[in-house]
Each structure stands twice: as C-alpha cells, then as structure tokens.
C-alpha cells in the first residue's frame, strides 16, 4: 500500500495553481499602483558639476511635460517643455542655457551653481488632458577652499584674550579645531562659538602658543587649514596688555601737557639770548670808536678827621689821613 502523499506527486494539484496565481495578481496590482517619482542624481551636488532630475514610472498616454522653477506652475517660471507626439522641446523665461529636457521628462542641469538650489515642479499633461504635478529638490553646495585662521591679536601679551576665527562664514558648514595635532582639551579658558567657527582663549600663557588647526566640512567637501602659531609675549612686569596700554596713554598725555611749557621756556631763553647778543654788539661798537683807549682809573680821596689825643709829633695837631682808593672802570 502506497503512502497517502504519493498520489499528490503524480500531477499538478489545483491548490498549487491557486498558490502561484496569488503572487502574480499582487505583482500586477503593485505595478498598476506605482506612482511617478523624481530622483536627483546625485542627491547632493557640488558646485560646478552636472545634476539630473530623473523621472520614474510615468505611464499612460502622455501629451507632454513642462518643468518650472519653484513650487508653482507659472509662465514666467517655465524652464522647458517637451511635446511627445511631435518630439519637440521649447524653453521658457526661467531657462538659463544650462538645462536640457529629455523625452522621458527628465531634466539635466549642467555646471550647477548655488543659485540652482531649490524646488522644481514637473507638470505632466496626458492625452485626455488630465494633469499631474510632481515636486523635486536640487541641493548644491560649494567646494570649500582651504580655510585661513585669523586672530584679533597676533602678538598677545600673557593674560590677554585671543579670538581665533576659522575661514569665512559659509552656510551648512561645520568646523573642528585641533591644538598640537590633538583635539581641544577641556578647559574653562577655551570657548567655542555656537557653530565652532571661532575659538576664544582667555588669559593666554606661553603654553598656548599652539600650533592650531581648523577643518571646514560640508556635504560635498572637507578642507583643513595650515598650522597657526600664537606669538605670546612674556610680560616680566606682570602687567596685562590693557594695563600697559593705559600706562602708555598716560605717558603720552603727560608729554602733551609738558610740551607747551617747554615751548614757552624755550621762547624766553631765545629772547634772552637775542637781547644779550644785541647788548654785546652795541658795546663792541662803542669800543671800536676808541680802539686805543686805556681803561680809566678814578681816584677818590676819603678824609678821615681823626679825633686823637695830642701826641708829640712833627706833624700838625690836626692830623689828616688821606686814603686813596683805586677804582677801575671797565
């Protein structure tokens, strides 16, 4: 006696046919419900490259396609149209000369720029005059140049605050910093801005000289800066840069106050010198008139009546002593 299942292997069971038919029905139903779609190739584009807005699964009797810039179907935003029955293409007011429309509805952008970033609308017209709209988005990013680190103070004194900036500000760009080829240490003296583009160093010391490096990154490119080294000046006086600046300003202000006084004294000295020079010239002129003149000598006689007691002397009783004084007039 044969096992019960032996009979089933001799022919095709009706159940087997039913099981095969069910997947086919599901497959054809999925095909009939697939909707048109648009794919950006590549999804994210670098500036200067080509991008294709590829149209998928557009079926049925179609009359043509039209592409518009933006999310509205407006005549002044028409890029290009293609009519299928006569296989002709036309351009609109929004056509830049870099777009090409294909018979399957796809749209090619050549040498894209950041200005091309945005939304686009595909307008499909069928033979029964029914229409359908599909939206697409184009994302274009710049290729980042090598960032340059700049500083608000290239020769800081110890205890100064220094702000380092990584390159120029660019949208959709992230930044990363390194010091001595390592990630930034956790320190209360280091502070990053919200976008990490600026690094602030509080109360710098000679140990903060660096070198520092930063990296700029966006979805299409990565670029790293050259090393940047701080020249931190050692302040032996212990004064900060701000205090030194105040001292310098004070000294300059003192000089400004003293300068008028010095000018006044110099003017008086000059007038005195000129006056003496004039007197000297006059004296010299007078002496020139009497070149052989001998210095005058004046004699004056001073009489002293000495009230002395009488002495036996040959002179008179009223002795008169004459004292001569020589006065030399120069």
| Residue 108 within any structural domain of the chain | yes
Residue with token string 């990363």: 176
Regarding whether 203 and 169 lie in a shared domain, the answer is yes
| Residue 206 within any structural domain of the chain | yes
Mean pLDDT of all residues belonging to the chain = 77
Regarding whether 109 and 166 lie in a shared domain, the answer is no
More confident position, 37 or 294: 37
pLDDT attached to residue 128: 86
| Residue 215 within any structural domain of the chain | yes
Whether 303 has a pLDDT exceeding 50, the answer reads no
Instruction: Indicate the pTM of the whole model.
Output: 0.58
**Residue at a domain's end among 230, 258, 289:** 230
Regarding whether 193 and 217 lie in a shared domain, the answer is yes
| Residue 100 within any structural domain of the chain | yes
Alpha carbon distance 83, 196 (integer Å) = 51
| Residue 12 within any structural domain of the chain | no
pLDDT attached to residue 181: 92
**Residue at a domain's end among 172, 199, 230:** 230
Regarding whether 207 and 124 lie in a shared domain, the answer is no
| Residue 271 within any structural domain of the chain | no
pLDDT attached to residue 57: 84
Regarding whether 118 and 45 lie in a shared domain, the answer is yes
**Residue at a domain's end among 204, 230, 256:** 230
Residue pLDDT, tens place only, 1-56? 444 444 444 444 444 444 444 444 444 444 445 688 999 999 999 999 999 999 99
Q: Is 262 exposed, middle or buried (0-12, 13-18, 19+ CB in 10 A)?
A: exposed
Whether 179 has a pLDDT exceeding 70, the answer reads yes
Regarding whether 190 and 95 lie in a shared domain, the answer is no
pLDDT attached to residue 320: 41
**Count of domains forming the chain:** 2
Regarding whether 165 and 110 lie in a shared domain, the answer is no
Whether 97 has a pLDDT exceeding 50, the answer reads yes
pLDDT attached to residue 245: 64
Whether 227 has a pLDDT exceeding 70, the answer reads yes
Residue pLDDT, tens place only, 110-123? 999 999 999 999 99
Contact 40, 89 (CB under 8 A): no
Regarding whether 180 and 126 lie in a shared domain, the answer is no
Whether 149 has a pLDDT exceeding 80, the answer reads yes
Regarding whether 164 and 106 lie in a shared domain, the answer is no
Regarding whether 136 and 168 lie in a shared domain, the answer is no
Q: How confident is the model at residue 260 (pLDDT cuts 50, 70, 90)?
A: low
Whether 165 has a pLDDT exceeding 80, the answer reads yes
Residue 119 sits in a domain whose CATH number is 2.60.40.10
Contact partners, residue 219, CB within 8 Å, separation at least 6: 44, 139, 141, 172
Regarding whether 181 and 99 lie in a shared domain, the answer is no
Residue 80: CB atoms within 10 Å: 19
Regarding whether 167 and 112 lie in a shared domain, the answer is no
| Residue 290 within any structural domain of the chain | no
Range of the domain at 127: 37-141
pLDDT attached to residue 111: 97
| Residue 13 within any structural domain of the chain | no
Alpha carbon distance 214, 147 (integer Å) = 8
């Amino acid at each position: 006696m044969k096992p019960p299942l032996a009979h089933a292997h001799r022919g095709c069971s009706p159940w087997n046919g039913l099981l095969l038919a069910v997947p086919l029905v599901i497959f054809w139903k999925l095909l009939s419900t697939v909707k048109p779609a648009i794919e950006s190739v590549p999804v994210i584009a670098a500036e200067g490259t080509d991008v294709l807005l590829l149209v998928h699964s557009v079926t049925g009797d179609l009359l043509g396609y039209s592409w518009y810039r933006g999310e509205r179907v407006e005549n002044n935003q028409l890029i290009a149209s293609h009519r299928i029955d006569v296989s002709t293409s036309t351009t609109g007011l929004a056509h830049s000369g870099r777009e090409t429309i294909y018979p399957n509805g796809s749209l090619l952008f050549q040498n894209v720029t950041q200005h091309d970033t945005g939304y686009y609308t595909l307008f499909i017209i069928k033979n029964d005059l029914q229409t359908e709209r599909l939206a697409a988005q184009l994302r274009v990013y710049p290729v980042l140049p090598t960032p340059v680190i700049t500083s608000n103070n290239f020769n800081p004194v110890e205890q100064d605050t220094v702000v380092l900036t990584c390159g120029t500000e660019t949208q959709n760009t992230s930044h990363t910093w390194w010091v001595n080829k390592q990630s930034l240490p956790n320190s209360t003296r280091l502070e990053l801005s919200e976008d990490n583009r600026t690094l602030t160093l509080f109360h710098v010391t000679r140990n903060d000289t660096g070198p520092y490096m930063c990296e700029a990154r966006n979805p299409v490119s990565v670029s790293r800066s050259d090393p940047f080294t701080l020249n931190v000046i050692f302040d032996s006086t212990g004064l900060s840069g701000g205090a030194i600046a105040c001292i310098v300003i004070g000294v300059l202000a003192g000089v400004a106050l003293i300068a008028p006084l010095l000018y006044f004294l110099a003017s008086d000295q000059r007038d005195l010198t000129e006056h003496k020079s004039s007197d000297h010239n006059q004296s010299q002129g007078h002496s020139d008139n009497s070149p052989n003149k001998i210095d005058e000598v004046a004699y004056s006689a001073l009489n002293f009546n000495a009230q002395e007691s009488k002495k036996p002397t040959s002179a008179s009783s009223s002795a008169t002593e004459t004292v001569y004084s020589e006065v030399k007039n120069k």
